[in-house]
């Protein structure tokens, strides 16, 4: 798409923090749609930045914001509001024993930063294990455990960060199995980090579904074995649920079908419903350990009342409208539609994921499984011009995958429309290559 004049002007004053900006200017968002200044309605298959999990500008979220503006927006970090206290109590009541103490910050990066800091303080170690292909944030500690991109050119990361292969069954990272992971990559990965460790293990940080890696799911068997290996080494297990909580996978939280809760749970994108709100959750014992050691984590916007009020509204929507069940039903329907597309288009190598967090991998052919990222970007461009916002993720050596995460409030007719546009865009993109 040609660069419009307003974008050329905007680039005179804005730092380009994500490559090129999108060539459309958004003036309004509501439900499953975003609206351009030219009047085009675009169906959003990304829920914004995966944050508007219950749709853009949900009326109950908007109402919560209005109510909060009549009370308090911001307080001294040591001061607590009724909203913050109630949100901590309600979330703790929804979570199992062992996830009882919460701290509210702004972003997923911060919530992971808090978990990493607490794990280091409580354990006395500093070594953090993460997955190849992971994305945990842009702050120093979270970035050091991020292996999907953004590592080169910024100087040294925090010492003590080690990586293991992700269980990417479609492209086995150790070239051992095909389509079904048998956990060999986990055993090999742990053996490798054991050789590199200096004996100062602190934590292992993972996602239930690696999103930036192209929708790579942890199976219950994999997760249970990971917990065993962490326990053997004295590693705290941090589960980053930035994108998988609040019903997205068809359950309230992503850890539920995996069979056991982690030592730390981090929540962000879905908790705030479009506002900056994140949480670090851990056990009473770990919190007491850190408190006795003088734990400090002060920021200008910690425990702010306004986003906490939104968090309470998000909990109401999640539970009262049974959003997890909606995601399970609609996700199954969408996945069936995408699998039908796979039957028609050779370039779709794999369809995977759970609930309304699905991946469609674009390849040159299904036998070689060679990624076709350039085709994926062309498909994405056609989708946008025809009224569908899609997001393709690219991790070196791990293919090009559409990350499909529409709002959980999406309707069946909107799903049908999105799949129809995607179908047409694939045809156009393939035709333009001839």
Q: Which tokens go with 377? A: 């970007």
Which two tokens mark 21?
């900006």
Active-site annotation holder among 83, 240, 304, 372: 240
269 is catalytic: yes
- Residue 165 near residue 131, CB atoms below 8 Å: yes
Marked catalytic residue, from 269, 352, 354, 378: 269
**How deeply is 316 buried, as exposed, middle or buried, from its count of CB atoms within 10 A (0-12, 13-18, 19+)?**
middle
* Active-site residue (options: 135, 248, 330, 354): 135
Burial grade of 42 (CB within 10 A; 0-12, 13-18, 19 or more):
buried
Q: In this structure, what are the phi and psi dihedrals at residue 375, rounded to the nearest 5 degrees?
A: -65, -40
End-to-end CA distance of the chain: 20
290, two tokens: 């850190």
Q: Which of 110, 207, 217, 361 is catalytic?
A: 207
Query: Among 66, 83, 88, 85, which residue's Cα sits nearest to residue 309?
Result: 83
For residue 33, list its beta bridge partners.
Answer: 30, 43
Q: Which of 227, 335, 378, 403 is catalytic?
A: 403
240 is catalytic: yes
List 241's β-bridge partners, or say none: 267
What is the pairing mode between strands 388-389 and 41-44?
Answer: parallel
Q: Read off φ and ψ for residue 33, nearest 5 degrees.
A: -125, 150
Buried b (16+ CB within 10 A) or exposed e, 324-360: bebbbebbeebbebbeebbeebebbbbbbbbbbbbbb
Q: How far apart are CA 296 and CA 113, in angstroms?
A: 12
207 is catalytic: yes
Separation between Cα atoms, residue 142 and residue 134, nearest integer Å:
10
* DSSP class of 218: P
Our answer to whether residue 423 is catalytic in this structure is no
Number of Cβ within 10 Å of residue 374's Cβ equals 13
Which of 44, 100, 110, 243 is catalytic? The answer is 243
Nearest to 428 by CA among 367, 381, 360, 364: 381
Question: What are the residue numbers of the active site?
Answer: 135, 207, 240, 243, 269, 403
């Amino acid at each position: 798409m040609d660069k419009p004049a307003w974008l050329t002007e905007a680039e005179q004053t804005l730092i380009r923090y994500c490559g090129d900006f999108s060539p459309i200017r958004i003036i309004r968002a509501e439900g499953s749609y975003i609206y351009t200044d030219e009047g085009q309605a675009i169906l959003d298959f990304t829920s914004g930045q995966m944050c508007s999990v219950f749709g853009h500008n949900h009326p109950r979220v908007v109402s919560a914001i209005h109510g909060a503006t009549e009370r308090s927006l911001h307080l001294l970090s040591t001061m607590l509001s009724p909203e913050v206290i109630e949100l901590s109590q309600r979330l703790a009541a929804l979570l199992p024993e062992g996830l009882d103490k919460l701290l509210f910050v702004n972003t997923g990066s911060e919530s992971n930063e808090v978990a990493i800091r607490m794990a280091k303080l409580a354990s006395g170690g500093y070594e953090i294990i993460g997955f190849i292909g992971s994305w945990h944030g842009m702050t120093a500690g979270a970035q050091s455990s991020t292996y999907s991109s953004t590592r080169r050119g910024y100087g040294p990361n925090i010492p003590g960060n080690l990586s293991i292969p992700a269980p990417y069954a479609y492209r086995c990272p150790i070239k051992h199995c095909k389509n079904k992971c048998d956990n060999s990559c986990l055993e090999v990965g742990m053996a490798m980090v054991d050789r590199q460790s200096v004996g100062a293990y602190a934590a292992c940080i993972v996602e239930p579904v690696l999103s930036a890696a192209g929708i790579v799911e942890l199976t219950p068997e994999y997760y249970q074995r990971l917990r065993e290996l962490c326990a053997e080494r004295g590693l705290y297990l941090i589960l980053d649920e930035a994108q998988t909580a609040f019903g997205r996978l068809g359950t309230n939280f992503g850890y539920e079908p995996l069979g056991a809760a982690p030592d730390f749970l981090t929540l962000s994108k879905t908790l705030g419903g479009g506002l900056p709100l994140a949480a670090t959750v851990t056990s009473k014992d770990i919190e007491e350990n850190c408190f006795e050691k003088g734990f400090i984590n002060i920021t200008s916007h910690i425990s702010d009342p306004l986003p906490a009020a939104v968090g309470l509204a998000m909990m109401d929507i999640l539970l009262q409208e049974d959003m997890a069940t909606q995601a399970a039903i609609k996700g199954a329907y969408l996945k069936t539609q995408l699998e039908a597309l796979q039957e028609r288009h050779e370039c779709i190598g794999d369809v995977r994921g759970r609930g309304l967090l699905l991946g469609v991998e674009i390849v040159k052919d299904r036998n070689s499984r060679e990624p076709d990222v350039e085709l994926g970007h062309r498909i994405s461009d056609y989708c946008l011009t025809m009224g569908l916002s899609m997001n393709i993720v690219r991790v070196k050596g791990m293919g090009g995958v559409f990350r499909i995460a529409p709002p959980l409030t999406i309707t069946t007719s909107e799903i049908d429309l999105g799949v129809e546009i995607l179908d047409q865009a694939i045809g156009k993109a393939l035709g333009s290559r001839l």
